[in-house]
Structure 1
Amino acid sequence: MAKSKFFCIAVEGATVDGREIKREWLEQMAASYDPKTYTARINCEHIAGYSPDAPFNAYGSVLALKTDTVELNINGEMKSLLGLFAEIEPNAQLIEMTKNDQKIFTSCEINPNFVGEGKAYLVGLAATDGPASLGTDRLKFAAMARPNVFTPAFSTAIDVVAEVDQGGIADAIRSGFAGMAAMFSRQDDKPKDPVTPPPAAANDNSFDIAAFSAAIGQQVAAAVQPAHDAIAAIRADFTALQGKLEATEDPHSFRRQPATGGGGNAAHLTDC
């Protein structure tokens, strides 16, 4: 990421909204600021980034602070005041935003009693269009030709995937194609052997299948034979029972008794 030149982010004295930036604050912040102790991140309009997505993400970090004298024209009178200057590492969003003439000034976030030590520390920096401090410089970013302008950013909290050696891949591809070409070249030089059809398989599958089918049939027949025998026995018993029932008279059925003969002249008496 690119890093900026030092530019003024605050000036001692009264602010436009009636507050005061003390000179000793600027001196203490310049003397004690260390990103390894606490990094002041850049936000938009003092809205601390709670999302990794714009516009509520962070826009970079403050790298270093120093103080220097600035000359300001206040109500027609030139005054020499102490200013706080910052070197920042902006991300691409902040650079693009300032190119569009948006949020081109800064506003400090100062903790006057950092970690209870009684000294001021810069804990944040906001990109804004309405700075409270006088004399803040407009944000300007430019890519210069010096090799130390752009520096790689590494973080121990992020696992970085090792880069693949592109040269090694290219060499491997070239070697592979060369080997394939040589292989085909050698094959073309050799006379082609006549194609011999594969020998036919022995035709013993039908025998195995027949034997297997016969064995299965025998096992199935043996398994169901008891059931067949039981059914045949039941059928025979039923037939025998049916014959007996048909030959047996019903004791409740009416049957006329045969007449008893007494000769041709015998008189038959009947009760009327």
Structure 2
Amino acid sequence: MGKKSQFFRAFVAGQTISDNREVTPEMIDEIVETFNAETYSPRINIEHIAGYSPEPPFNGYGDVIAVKKQVDEFTIAGKTEKRPALYLQVDANDQLFTLSKRDQKPYPSVELTPNYAGSGKVGLIGLAFTDTPASIGTQRLNFSRVNGSMIATSDERAALAFAEDADGKDPVDSIVNRLFSKLTGHFKPSEPEKTKEEPAQPANDNFDLGKFTADMSAAVAGSISEALAPIAEAQATHQREFAALKAKLEGEPDTTFSRKLVSGGGADVLTDC
């Protein structure tokens, strides 16, 4: 089960920061009008990247379950004014909960369609959490623990509030922890295992450090073997030629041998003593 958040501000009428699109109050009205979680539940992703794999980091982080409109006061270029804002409520899983506690990807960024289900009206089809939101006035994820619950520390900075798990423990065994464990595990001595399981195949849209390391090792080993092959072949040839020459010399008589002449002369043989 996920964790239901408080409503948080995700979208404000006016020009966007990144591309100067105009967000009208009517667009917010249409989003509220067309939203129905039972008909279509907008999924949460990271940086607007919805991966094909169920593995992190570009998998699902929960769903948007409710929307509402609210008029808030903002100070823009030294002027205070009131603008309509879109508020969302999400049902988040442990991945989003842990990201918020780590202060990673803290800002919401909505994904819209101009023709929701053929209605000709703007509709919400997704929500991302990012470092660079397009809209002004978005509320970042921020938490503090008070009396066993996760609550907003202030109206401006804290966007989400979650209840802790039913067993009273934080979801520390999150996918983010597992991701960093996999990375750091490659630099620690391996420990013997009782059983070996077939490693899962990485998804196309995820980076697998283990496979990358193995591929690089194989490529380097192949390059070294290829570079040393001529040297090894030449050495083997020299060894064969040396062995053949040695065998040839050992089978031929020594023509340089001469025996010392005996003492004496003529036909008589004399002793040396």
- Determine which of 104, 127, 130 is the counterpart of 2:129: 127
* Residue in structure 2 matched with residue 112 of structure 1 by the alignment: 114
Q: CA deviation at 1:31?
A: 2.2
1:30 aligns with 2:32: yes
Task: Summarize the alignment of residues 209-228 of structure 1 with structure 2, pairs less than 5 Å apart.
Answer: none
How far did 1:150 drift? 7.3
Q: Distance in 2 between matches of 1:96 and 1:145?
A: 12
Contact preservation (8 Å) 2:103, 2:141: no
Unaligned runs of 5+ in 1: 153-272
Match of 2:149 among 141, 144, 149: 144
State the 1:108 CA deviation.
Answer: 0.5
Deviation per CA, 1:3-35: give whole Å up to 9, x if none.
Answer: 110000000110002112121111111122111
After TM superposition, give the deviation of residue 151 of structure 1 in Å.
9.7
Question: Which string of whole-angstrom CA distances, capped at 9 and with x for unpartnered residues, describes residues 190-249 of structure 1?
Answer: xxxxxxxxxxxxxxxxxxxxxxxxxxxxxxxxxxxxxxxxxxxxxxxxxxxxxxxxxxxx
Bigger fraction of residues in helix: 1
* Residues paired across the two proteins, number: 151
User: Aligned letter for 1:144?
Assistant: S
Aligned-pair CA distance for 1:99: 1.1
Aligned mate of 1:93, from 86, 90, 95? 95
Q: 1:47 aligns with which of 49, 58, 75?
A: 49
CA contact (8 A) 1:109 1:123 kept: yes
- Percent of aligned pairs sharing the same letter: 42
Judged with a 3 Å threshold, the aligned counterparts in structure 2 of structure 1 residues 11 and 92 are, in CA distance, closer, same or farther, namely same
Structure with max Cα Rg: 1
Matched, 1:12 2:17: no
CA distance in 1, matches of 2:165, 2:73: 33
Query: Which residue of structure 2 aligns with residue 74 of structure 1?
Result: 76
Classify the secondary structure of the residue corresponding to 1:38. coil
Supply the RMSD in Å over aligned alpha carbons: 2.2
Could you tell me which residue of structure 1 aligns to residue 23 of structure 2? 21
Q: How does 1:179-198 map to 2 (within 5 A)?
A: none
Amino acid of the residue matched to residue 36 of structure 2? Answer: D
Amino acid at match of 2:123: Y
- Please say if residues 41 and 60 of structure 1, whose CA atoms lie closer than 8 Å, have aligned partners that are also in contact: yes
SS in 2 for 1:68: strand
How has the CA–CA distance of structure 1 residues 145 and 21 changed in structure 2, closer, same or farther, with 3 Å as cutoff? closer
- Alignment gaps of 5+ in structure 2: 152-161, 167-273
- In the alignment, residue 125 of structure 2 is paired with which amino acid? V
Give the Cα–Cα distance (whole angstroms) in 1 for the partners of residues 119 and 28 of structure 2: 16
Distance 1:151 1:61, change over 3 A: farther
Give the TM-score normalised by the residue count of structure 1: 0.52
Contact kept in structure 1, 2:150 and 2:164, CA below 8 Å: no
Q: Secondary structure at the match of 1:69?
A: strand
- Which 10-residue stretch deviates more, 43-52 or 127-136? 43-52
Cα drift, residue 47 of structure 1: 0.4
Encode CA deviations 1:33-66: one digit per residue, 9 max, x unaligned: 1111111000000001321111110101001000
CA separation in 2, counterparts of 1:151 and 1:87? 18
Residue by residue, what CA displacement relative to the aligned partner does 1:54-90 show, whole Å, maximum 9, x if unpaired? 1110101001000001111100001100000000011
TM-score (norm 2): 0.52
Letter in 2 for 1:111: T
CA separation of 1:149 and 1:32: change in aligned 2, threshold 3 A: farther
Structure 1 residues 112 and 151: alpha-carbon distance in aligned structure 2, compared to 1, 3 A threshold: farther
Amino acid at match of 1:6: F
Whole-Å separation in 1 of the counterparts to 2:127 and 2:150: 27
Runs of 4 or more, structure 1, over 6 Å off, are none
